[in-house]
Each structure stands twice: as structure tokens, then as C-alpha cells.
Structure 1
Amino acid sequence: MPPSAPSSEGPSPHDLNCLTITELEALAYERMDKQTRDYYNEGADSGTTLAENLSAYQKYRIRPRVLRDISKIDTTTSVFGHTNAAPFGVAPTAMQRLAHSDGEIATARACRSKGIVMGLSSFSTSTLEDVAEANGPNPHALQLYLFEEREHSRKLINRAKKAGYKAVLLTVDTPMLGRRNLEIRNQFKLPSHLSIPNFAEQDEDTDSAVSNTDTSDANTASVERKPTSKSKAKAKANTKERRASTAGRLDEDSKKRVLPSGPITFHTHAANPTLSWEESLPWLKKVCAPMEVWVKGIATAEDALLAVHHGVDGIIVSNHGGRQLNGSLATLDALPEVVAAVQKKVPVHVDGGIRHGTDIFKALALGADFCWVGRPVLWGLAYKGEQGVELCLKLLLDEFRLTMGLAGVTSIKEISKAFLCRIDRDGFASRL
């Protein structure tokens, strides 16, 4: 039996404590408190959809082709007009400083290091400007809840434009908030030293948010109006002191109130029962231009067709990580009908349940153009901060490259449903 081969990029050191995403989850579990574990890992109600997001991948097996030259494997693809190192990105997940003191900043740095696109949650514990700075020229997209009070959303969108975000990912599966029993039982809320700084009120002509120079202590976004060099220097000198303010406290410099961190505030703002195709999408496209507008949370052919009709730039097949409607389709099960309906008019991405490089391969074979990975990144963050996120991305990329080679393909465009078969209830395989 030959030894395991290194990746095509040459040998790299392994973390012998963590060779799989499953092991990464276990290591992260040891490092997170119960409230954080429950918040990140819980699904809605009994968790049926959460579990089926994972098990759906086991319905399919790969049909490998042999005696093909796979000496040069190209895992790159294009997303938001940029070349990405792999056909997956980091999905937007909220409040990452619960997992590690560096939170979203560490995730952004890891994405930049690995050439992987990052999605940022509106409900991040770092400002969108600081995350963009940490991510550098690497592409980043902002997940957005469109609030009933549109002015809050408009200000956030304008800040994202100025910070260089390439796209807005509108979450459309949250007209009401799903029932998460552990979150209710734990009376979950952010610790007092953390806040949601993207919702610090800012004047429209504010020049920029003060840069986050110490990510472990940064809690609020403090703002200077048209800062001079002298005022910038003074602001940076006082960054730690200003950012020690807790959620809901008035910052002494900006005199702007930060969105409180309790669960009632989150629930009130995230869920919006008034969203509609006819009114919400035209408004959003106009305000977001020239950023791309994607809809995240599509699960049916009917809604996919409506999304295309209303001119979105792309679709993400998602069920919010199984956290919204329990009993809804697993994302991999919903993917084929969305792909068939769209007919390549816009890109179709998918998230939910991805734990292996083989999962990414299967999703692409079923027609997805790209995948998004959420919880595994949080586990990497909890394990070792920036290094842990890099480890997560490396594990998935190495597994995916190996899967491509063993399946007999050398580029993303070669992957198709011809490489898959479906296992029925009796254990028989059938071609797709």
C-alpha cells in the first residue's frame, strides 16, 4: 500500500491532533462554554433538518474514472469576479468573538492567507470596515437582513460599498425567527464585553470608522467626523479605552448609541415579515449598486424563478443551517430543482452540512457552482483562532483536491452528475 501522497502544492506540516473536520469539532467543543456551543451548533426544534443537511450527502456515491492524467489539478474557480483558490468560501456566521477573542478579524486574515472568499454576518462582533481591512484585496461579501426600518439597512449598505465589499447576500428565509429551544432555555445573549458594532448609529457623511488596532479588546465602533491626521492619531491612542464600552452604552467621543446585545434586539431586527419580491428587491438593487445582490435562503424552483425574474445576481440554496423551518428540505436535496429551474441564468451556490472535500465534489456534481462552509470555520476559530481557521480551510481544500484526483478530474468544469450515483433505500446504486 503506497503512503499517503502530499498535496500537489508540496508537503506541508500536519496538526496531528486534527486531521479531519470531525476532530476539529471535538477540539472546539472543549474550548467553548456551553452557551456558545449550544448557540453555534443548535438547529430549529428537534433538529431534523440540521441532521438531514449532513445525511443528505450520504445518499450519493462518487463514480471514479481511472487511467486519466491527473498530474495537474486546478481547484480554482471564479466568485464575485475574482479567482478563488477553491470552489468554497466561508459562510457568514454571527458573533464570532464568542468563539475566539479575535473573532471575525482572525477569520478574515485566514481567508486572505488561503485565497478564500469570506462572507460577513451583519451581526458580527467586529465592524465591517475592520474585517475588510484584515481581508485586504481578497473578496468579501456582506450578509444582510433587510430591516423594516430601511434607513438602518441603507447605512450599512453604504458602509459596505465604501469598504470594498463585492456583494450583498440578502437573507430571505427569516420572515420570523425559527424556534431554537436551547437558545430559549439558556436565555442566550452576548457577554457584556461584546457588542454588535455594525449597528452603532453613524452620520451619513462620517468619513470612516476608527480602525480596530487591538482585536481582542475592540467592542464598539467609535467614529470621527472628517478626521485630520492629528485627530486620527489621538483616536488610535484612545482606541482601547473607547472600545471598553459595553453594548448599549454611549461612546464618549461619538455620542452614538450602540445596538444592545440582548436576544430581544436581535430577534426584533433580524426577522422581517414585510419582505416581498415586488417591493424589497427593486429597492435593494438600487441602493446596493454597483455591488452584486444575491438572495440567500432559496429552497424551491418557484422561488428560484422569481429570483431570476427580479434580476438577482446569484442564488444561495440555504436553510439557515437548519435553524429556521424544521422539517424543510436539506439543502443538497433542494439543490437539483433550483439548478434545473435556473438553467445557468445566474450562479447557484449551496451551504449546509459540508464537512468533507467529497461533500463539495458531490454538490458541484449536482449542479452547484460554489459552496459555503459555516460551522466548521467556527470550530477552527474556537480551536486556534486564525491558525484554526487556516487549518479548517486547508483540510477541506486538501480533501477536495484529493477527491478530484481520485475521481479522475483536473478542473472544476469537468465535474458533473456523471460522476455520481444515488443509493436507494435498498442499497442499490442508480445513475443520475
Structure 2
Amino acid sequence: MPLPPLESIPASIVSLDDYEVLARDRVEDSIWAYLSGAAADEVTLRENRAGFERIQLLPRIFRVLSQASTGLTLFGRHYAHPVFIAPTAFHGMFYPGGEVVTMLGASAMDACMTVSTQAGMAIEDIARGAAVPPWFQLYIQPDRAFTAELVKRVEAAGCAALVITADAPLHGLRNREQRAAFRVPPGLEPVNLRGMEPVPPADRIFGSHLLAKAPTWEDLAWLRSLTKLPLVLKGVLDPADALQAEARGVDGIIVSNHGGRTLDTVPAAIEVLPSVAAAIGDRLPILLDGGIRRGTDVLKALALGASAVMVGRPILHGLAAAGATGVAHVLKILRTELEIAMALTGRATLDELDPSVIFAK
């Protein structure tokens, strides 16, 4: 079971890496393997960080910063800052109250939270306490009729966008998780999938029911016909897929490699972002998910073509360490670091972030 909250956050906790260290001692070993692990040899997991570390910034001086702001508009809605919470499963593994507590922390920092299909709490209960309307991440289920009903629930709950995860028609082999014999703890389940026809078990991949019912581009067009919510496609790395998604009517793209959790040895998300941004231009907003640990990372992503970023594991570190307070503090650290980085590179608004802020070697 998750540990009770800390009475206060130690003054030594000043970065997202500090939160990871603090959370480690508060999470059971097999659950930590689930959270921290990635596919196979975890090359992509490491590359998501290394990609940012290879990028250097070029400061500018004596710039006008009196009207500085981190605000942005996406899909007709104003957001106070470009740091969004990525979809992650079963927050109840990390803190009592799960996603509802995460939403409290997000609301304290005016952050948009994307709720996972595999949340341990009902979307209606999570959305009810949101200061910023959440987005909902959808895995298109083999039971398409159930999927359609779930979309209706998401709309009725007041969600502001539907995020379609495209890069995980099946789970990657996460060896660290396998070695730790991870299992979802008793009492936790993907409650938003209750009542769905179960997927038959299989002892092979090719020829399985799961792959036979895997989503295709036609399913994306079908979803577009079901809802007026903005559709945001998550898991795009190839510019050709981004263009195909645009042609199928999506409203936004999330460049992501699923945190390295599906296929190993794919490139860092930040390294493919420029090519996707070049293909899409300014026709659709692009978000980046993968490897964000500093405000400078947020700035780099925005300079290379993203409109906003998503943060996953660090949010769960904050949640495990200190509940809603930890989530809010993680977001506050990132926003503060972003504001400092913008000021020191001479950029007053997000619109001023472009490739010229990157040092060309």
C-alpha cells in the first residue's frame, strides 16, 4: 500500500531529480520497476534524457521582458503555461486517492491533466474537481461499441480533448518489470473499462485477437465522426504519419515514444520533433512527451516546434512523495525554471521561442 503523506517537503527537494530520489523509498520495489522501467535494454529511456542534454542554449541580453508570460491557447482554450500532465495508469499505486489527488495538485498550478484509459478512478470523479478541464487519453479497444460509449462519457464529463494513443497496440517487453514480477495490486483496476467484453488470452503475438482488432487509420476516421472534441494523436515519430494524421482530421500531434516503454532503440522524442514540426508547419499544434526534467527542456522543446510539453514519471514521483502537494511542487519547479530560462535567453513569450534560441555548433 502507498505510504502516508510526508508532513512537509524537505527543503533539500529543489529539482525533479530530487523528487525521484524521495519517491524511491516510498514505493514498493515491483511498482518502482513498473514506473521506472522501459522496454528491453532501456536505450530509448536513456536517450530521451540524453537528447535534451546534447542541446545547448544561446542567451540574449538587454531584451524587453516587462510583459513576459507563459500563457498559450490550444484548441480555443487558454492555458496558463505549457506544462501538461501526460497520461499514466493507476495513480492509486503511488498515493491513496489516486487520480483525484493528482488532479488537486494539477489544479493548484492551473495545469491540464490528461487522464489515462487505465486510471483507477472514474473519469467523472476525476474531472469533477478540475480547475482546468482535463483531457482524456483513449486506447481504441477491440470492442468498438464500448469505445464509442466511453467517448460519450468523456464528453459528458467535460473533458476538453481526446488523446488517442497510437503507438501501443500491444505492450512492449519491459524486462525490469518482468524480473520484479510486477502485478497491479489487488483492489486496483481500469474502472473506466468496466463492462467491456474481455480480450481472449493468447499465447502468441501474430494471429492473436489483440492484433486482429488493432486500430487502423480507418478507426481514427471513425472516431472523428463520433465526437466534436479535439482529437490529438499521441505516439507520432515519423513525419509521414503526422501528415497522414492531418489528412484524417486530427487536431493535434503528440511526438512521443511512450517513454521508451513499447519499442526500444527508437530515437529520443526531442530529436525527431524538428522533422515532424517541419512537415506539419503551423497547421496543427504539436506537443512533446518524453524526457522532460527541467524548465530548460521545456524551452528547448518549444524552440524546436512544440506548442506544449507533457510530463509523466515526475508527476508520479511528486505524487508518491507528497500527494497533491508534491504534484503541485513538481509543476511549480518546472514553471519557475521555464520562466528563468525564458528571461535569460531574452524571450518574453512562448511565441518568441524559435530555433534561434538553440546554439548551432
Above 0.5 in TM-score? yes
Task: Indicate how the Cα distance of structure 1 residues 19 and 102 shifts in structure 2: closer, same or farther if over 3 A, else same.
Answer: same
Separation in 2, partners of 1:48, 1:201:
38
2:233 corresponds to: 295
Separation in 2, partners of 1:156, 1:311:
20
Q: 1:276 aligns with which of 216, 220, 244?
A: 216
Cα distance, 1:124 vs. partner? 0.4
1:404 corresponds to: 342
Task: Indicate how the Cα distance of structure 1 residues 372 and 180 shifts in structure 2: closer, same or farther if over 3 A, else same.
Answer: same
Separation in 2, partners of 1:20, 1:332:
21
Cα distance, 1:78 vs. partner? 1.6
Separation in 2, partners of 1:394, 1:163:
27
Task: Indicate how the Cα distance of structure 1 residues 421 and 302 shifts in structure 2: closer, same or farther if over 3 A, else same.
Answer: same
1:143 corresponds to: 137
Task: Indicate how the Cα distance of structure 1 residues 270 and 387 shifts in structure 2: closer, same or farther if over 3 A, else same.
Answer: farther
Cα distance, 1:72 vs. partner? 3.6
State the SS of the aligned residue for 1:160. helix
Stretch deviating more after TM superposition (290-299 or 68-77):
68-77
1:159 corresponds to: 153
Gaps spanning 5+ residues in structure 2: where? 1-7
Cα distance, 1:81 vs. partner? 2.4
2:166 corresponds to: 172
Give the AA of the match of 1:16.
Answer: A
Separation in 2, partners of 1:330, 1:300:
12
Separation in 2, partners of 1:17, 1:270:
47
State the SS of the aligned residue for 2:178. helix
Separation in 1, partners of 2:45, 2:194:
33
Give the AA of the match of 1:295.
Answer: L
Separation in 2, partners of 1:174, 1:101:
28
Cα distance, 1:130 vs. partner? 0.6
Residue pair 2:83, 2:331 contacting (<8 A) in 1 also: no
Residue pair 2:9, 2:322 contacting (<8 A) in 1 also: no
2:313 corresponds to: 375
1:285 corresponds to: 224
**Any residues of structure 2 matched to 1:12-411 within 5 Å, and which?**
15-136=10-131, 138-201=132-195, 274-277=214-217, 279-287=218-226, 289-411=227-349
1:218 corresponds to: none
Give the AA of the match of 1:67.
Answer: F
Separation in 2, partners of 1:318, 1:116:
20
| Structure possessing the higher relative contact order (Cα contacts under 8 Å, 6 or more residues apart) | 2
Separation in 2, partners of 1:416, 1:19:
28
Task: Indicate how the Cα distance of structure 1 residues 269 and 336 shifts in structure 2: closer, same or farther if over 3 A, else same.
Answer: farther
RMSD: 2.2
Separation in 2, partners of 1:128, 1:32:
25
State the SS of the aligned residue for 1:191. coil
State the SS of the aligned residue for 1:403. helix
Deviations 1:94-120 (A, max 9, x none): 111111012111111111121111101
State the SS of the aligned residue for 2:18. helix
Task: Indicate how the Cα distance of structure 1 residues 269 and 143 shifts in structure 2: closer, same or farther if over 3 A, else same.
Answer: farther
Residue pair 1:146, 1:272 contacting (<8 A) in 2 also: no
Separation in 2, partners of 1:104, 1:275:
27
Where in structure 1 do 4 or more consecutive aligned residues deviate above 4 Å? 268-273
Separation in 2, partners of 1:102, 1:14:
19
Give the AA of the match of 1:276.
Answer: T
Number of paired residues? Answer: 349
TM-score normalised by structure 2 residue count? 0.92
Cα distance, 1:272 vs. partner? 7.1
Cα distance, 1:270 vs. partner? 8.2
Cα distance, 1:71 vs. partner? 3.6
Cα distance, 1:76 vs. partner? 1.1
Separation in 2, partners of 1:59, 1:281:
35
Separation in 2, partners of 1:269, 1:340:
37
1:5 corresponds to: none
2:5 corresponds to: none
Task: Indicate how the Cα distance of structure 1 residues 87 and 271 shifts in structure 2: closer, same or farther if over 3 A, else same.
Answer: farther
State the SS of the aligned residue for 2:249. coil
Give the AA of the match of 1:329.
Answer: P
Task: Indicate how the Cα distance of structure 1 residues 368 and 280 shifts in structure 2: closer, same or farther if over 3 A, else same.
Answer: same
State the SS of the aligned residue for 1:83. strand
Task: Indicate how the Cα distance of structure 1 residues 271 and 78 shifts in structure 2: closer, same or farther if over 3 A, else same.
Answer: farther
Gaps spanning 5+ residues in structure 1: where? 1-12, 203-256, 423-429
Separation in 2, partners of 1:151, 1:400:
43
Separation in 2, partners of 1:177, 1:110:
29
Residue pair 2:48, 2:269 contacting (<8 A) in 1 also: yes
State the SS of the aligned residue for 1:61. coil
Task: Indicate how the Cα distance of structure 1 residues 388 and 272 shifts in structure 2: closer, same or farther if over 3 A, else same.
Answer: farther
TM-score normalised by structure 1 residue count? 0.77
State the SS of the aligned residue for 2:359. strand
Separation in 2, partners of 1:100, 1:274:
33
* Greater gyration radius: 1
